[in-house]
Amino acid sequence: MAVIGDQVGLTVDRIVLATDFSPSSESATKYAKLLAKRFSSNLTLAHVVDLSMAARSEQAVVGYPIGDMRRASSENLERLLKDLTSDRIRATAQILEAHNPAAAIVGLAEQLKADLIVTGTHARHGLNKAILGSCAEGIFRHASCPVFTVGPKLKAPSAENIAFDRIVFATDFTSSAAEKAAVALAFAQDSMATIYLCHVLKDAGADISEMFELQVKFQSALKKMVPQSTLDWCTPECVVELGEVAPHILGLAKRVGADVIILGARRSSTWFAHLADGVVGHVLANAECPVMTICSS
């Protein structure tokens, strides 16, 4: 994904759609289709035959016959590809085989130099409350490009076009915050959107005057993140709130009718299942709009 100098620009030439043919993947497919149309992108459909789910022999009582898995994957992917190409989407399909589907998707995206990965998740009980081995989590924690996740509370889009008219960008002011803000601004500029830059202060027991000073300080910091050239096409809204981070991000998104939430995710150094980050997990599980995560480089 290219962000060009001080003039925020956006290029989404290649999108990888990770699908397992589940209902959540069907919604993600519809979003990927609309994104590919909007940005004139090449779309690669990717499905991973999970070898860890395959039976070790024809006589095994645990697992699925690998031949059946391959056949079903091929038929489903062919059907999806036909639907997309009939709608004039430049699409190709790849079936991968791996014991770690997330690693396979991330590897493919890097090989293709993808600008965006689109995926779905069906976790309904709060990713922050469980140890996950989910493909979605593995993807957004390891991908080098942004990941556009369609959560369980989203309905499939009914419109023929997609636009990001209202964007919520939440930042914790880590060292990569400016880089992530640039990506958010790029999406905002593409649709001439209203962008809400948000930071949530946790209540650490400070008195009212101290909290007011902190709010003023972070309001100023949010404004400084925005390049001067951005003010030619929009007036960003800077929001500093006090309380629990994820509920305030979700609350802001709901109040303003956000079309997408953009936030950072912590990169993981391993592929093992682990506790999902509380903020990212809670937002993904409860957002009523898509969530785009950007891992620190």
| Average pLDDT value for residue range 36-50 | 94
Read off the pLDDT of residues 115-172 as tens digits, 9 standing for 90 and up: 999 998 875 544 433 333 367 778 888 899 999 999 888 877 777 888 889 999 999 8
Name the residue ranges covered by the structural domains of the chain: 14-295
Cβ contacts of 211 within 8 Å, gap of 6 or more: 201, 203, 242
What is d(CA 194, CA 58) in angstroms, rounded to the nearest whole number? 57
C-alpha–C-alpha distance, residues 203 and 156, integer Å: 37
pTM reported for the whole predicted model: 0.87
- Which residue's entry shows tokens 């639907």? 83
pLDDT at 76 over 70: yes
- Candidates 70, 64, 121; CA nearest to 95 is 70
Q: pLDDT digits over 200-232, tens only?
A: 988 766 677 788 888 889 889 888 888 888 778
Integer Cα distance of 111 and 92 in angstroms:
15
Please give the single-letter amino acid code of residue 49. V
- Contact by Cβ (8 Å): 46, 21: no
Considering only residues 134 and 50, tell me which one the structure prediction assigns the higher pLDDT.
50
118 burial level (CB within 10 Å; 0-12, 13-18, 19+): buried
151/146 Cα distance (integer angstroms): 16
Q: Helices marked H in 43-176 — which ranges?
A: 66-86, 101-112, 135-142
- 10 Å Cβ neighbour count for 240? 20
- The dihedral through the CA atoms of 141, 42, 121, 193 has a sign that is positive
Do the Cβ atoms of 173 and 221 come closer than 8 Å?
A: yes
Pick the CATH number of 14-295 from 3.40.50.12370, 3.40.50.620, 3.30.1300.10, 1.20.120.530: 3.40.50.12370
**Residue 132 DSSP SS3:** strand
Residue 55: the pLDDT is 61
Going from the C-alpha of 100 to that of each of 1, 116, 138, 271, 289, the distances in angstroms are: 25, 20, 9, 8, 28
CA–CA gap between residue 285 and residue 125 (Å, rounded): 7
The secondary structure element, H or E, covering residue 45 is strand 42-50
Look at residue 175 in the predicted model and tell me its pLDDT: 76
